[in-house]
Amino acid sequence: MITPQTLTGMILAGGEGRRMGGRDKGLEPFAGLPLVAHVAKRFDGHVSELLINANRNTDAYALFATRVIEDAEGGFKGPLMGIYSGLRAAKTSWLLVAPCDSPALPNDLVARMVAGITSASGEHDIAVAYDGERLHPVVALLRTSLADDLANALAEGERKIDRWYARHSWCKVDMSDCPETFANLNTEEEKARLELTLSTIFKDPASKETS
């Protein structure tokens, strides 16, 4: 059984933000708060600890997590390195990861991912969110015991998340009822468009309610 006590959350915020001119995406403002703050709300009260994987501005990110961890190896080696860093840092049996640039993720993301892997036929090591058309490999629930295997894969030069997942028993978690919530923001234009589209569902930033 996966309970909050056996689950660590982690937000991936370790990228270079190239398509945003090199700015730190997780700290970009969206609906009155940094993008990372919206994602952090999805974990609040549902995990034993929330990590943020970041390679710069760690003091700023520390406001939104229990711990901020940098990539185990420098050089901005991509999200698979971030996932490995989280698997290694987590103190629980399971790790749920989400990207910093998807501010509209379902409010019940944690419960749905846990229910998805629990109800799937067979015993799986990884669960990946599925919006009805495509997988979202950076929204995933993983056993932390996979850390050594991922270390070996990275040492062999592996950088593709889906290729590494395919080496293990995994399942998809159907979230086809809310595909729009997985929109991720890579440009100023995408950010402005999503902010306008979702403006009605975000509460006042001063409110303690979840958006």
User: Does 148 fall in a domain?
Assistant: yes
pLDDT at 119: 93
User: Does 17 fall in a domain?
Assistant: yes
User: Does 208 fall in a domain?
Assistant: no
User: Does 211 fall in a domain?
Assistant: no
Residue 12 assigned ligand-binding role: yes
Residue 74 pLDDT level (bands cut at 50, 70, 90): confident
Considering only CA atoms, which of 18, 56, 21, 19 is closest in space to residue 36?
56
**Does 12 or 75 have the greater pLDDT score?**
12
- For residue 71, the one-letter residue type is D
Residue 71 assigned ligand-binding role: yes
Instruction: CATH number of the domain at 18, please.
Output: 3.90.550.10
Q: Are 169 and 122 in contact (CB under 8 A)?
A: yes
**Angle CA(122)–CA(128)–CA(130) in degrees, nearest 5?**
110
| SS3 (DSSP) at 33 | strand
| SS3 (DSSP) at 74 | coil
Q: Are 164 and 153 in contact (CB under 8 A)?
A: yes
Q: How do residues 138-197 score in pLDDT, each as one tens digit? A: 999 999 999 999 999 999 999 999 999 999 999 999 999 998 889 876 666 776 676 666
Residue 204 assigned ligand-binding role: no
Handedness of CA 88, 91, 96, 100 (dihedral sign): negative
Summarize the confidence of residues 115-119 as an average pLDDT.
95
Domain interval for residue 49:
4-201
Q: Which two tokens stand for residue 121?
A: 């036929």
User: Does 207 fall in a domain?
Assistant: no
Residue 101 assigned ligand-binding role: yes
User: Does 210 fall in a domain?
Assistant: no
Summarize the confidence of residues 49-63 as an average pLDDT.
96
Summarize the confidence of residues 100-118 as an average pLDDT.
95
Per the structure, the count of domains in the chain is: 1
Q: Percentage of residues in the chain with pLDDT exceeding 70?
A: 84
Residue 25 assigned ligand-binding role: yes
